Amino acid sequence: MKSIYKKIGATIVGAIATVNVMALDELNVAYFEEWPMPFEYAKQIGAYDEALGMSVNWKAFGTGTAMSAAMASGDIDISVSQGVPPFIVAASTGQDLQIVDVAVSYADNDNCVVASVREIDASNASELAGLKVSVPIGTAAHYGYLKQMEHFGVDVASMDVVDMAPPEGAAAFAQGSVDVFCGWGGSLRRALEHGNVLLTGAEKVALGILVWDVTSTTAQFANENAEVLATFLGVTAASNAMWNSGGFTSLMLPHIARDAGMDEAATADTMSTFVFPSVSNQLSSAWLGGGGQTFLKGVADVFVNAGEIPSARDSYDSAVNIDGLNALASQ
């Protein structure tokens, strides 16, 4: 299987075995469980370790805010699929983080669910006022919650917001301890067994409520380990290319499901609503070629208006580092 991987990824990764890792002897990477992505195939077969010539230690996290804290402390070098909102919170409050690629774009896999017993949908959303909602503060789910409440004219100050990671929030929602759940992945799937969404993914996108995750690191790590970072991104890009081709699903799916801690059917269903942009797409004006930076500023301004952060940067251009992607595109 490794030989198949290397054959498919060769045009993207290049001579992956020749990376000069210099001072690094291991890499610490954050990711989410119950959040299936193509990189987990490469993770499972040891492709990152082989390409980088070092051990890659993968550490599961519950929220993107926790990822930011771990990068600040030096416990984590790279975070995979960190939500844009927690990245923005950190980058706007003094942490020198940088986005190095677009990990995944999604809309149906991050949402808010209202308990069925409340009998509330888009037609009577004003009745959400006064209800108790579980939200992982400072995450993509939090941003989506704020934007949805803004759309429906519901004052978030009237709601009882409890900061809970999605797994805990889904459990509380199932028990009836909270009226509204906001979260993603497997937790969202479990919450939907007990309630309904207010807006579909397509409806959110139409309203400009975009949802995408990034691969992030500190500016210091990116500057000091450019080759390592480019190679890491190359293995990820090769994995995405394999998945996007549609020709390796039967090979990759069992590995991805095992790594995500999900069954294969749930994994396939979840990934069917994910988009993994190619390197060229990521470098386009729609993403990190300009549009992404504009979106970052918009998210920051929403959080300022909501009182979640004291201020926003004038620009988030310096929070995006496309050197690694450019290195891949030039191969």
Q: What is the CATH number of the domain that holds 237?
A: 3.40.190.10
**Residues 48, 179 within the same domain:** no
pLDDT for res 305: 86
Q: Tell which of 206, 236, 254 closes a domain.
A: 206
What does the pLDDT read at residue 23?
65
Q: How confident is the model over 32-78, as pLDDT tens digits?
A: 999 999 999 999 999 999 999 999 999 999 999 999 999 999 999 99
**Are 15 and 102 contained in the same domain?**
yes
- Same domain assignment for residues 223 and 200: no
226/325 same-domain check? yes
DSSP state of 272: T
Of 78, 104, 60, 92, which Cα lies nearest the Cα of 276? 104
DSSP 291: H
Cross-strand pairs, 58: 29
Please tell me the predicted confidence (pLDDT) of residue 16.
42
Q: How many structural domains is the chain composed of?
A: 2
**Which parts of the chain register pLDDT below 50?**
1-21
For residue 255, give its domain range.
2-106+211-329
Residue 3: per-residue pLDDT? 45
What are the residues whose beta carbons fall under 8 Å from the beta carbon of 135, sequence distance 6 or more?
Answer: 141, 142, 145, 161, 162, 163, 164, 169, 182
**What does the pLDDT read at residue 19?**
46
* Residue 202 and residue 211 in contact, taking contact as beta carbons nearer than 8 Å: no
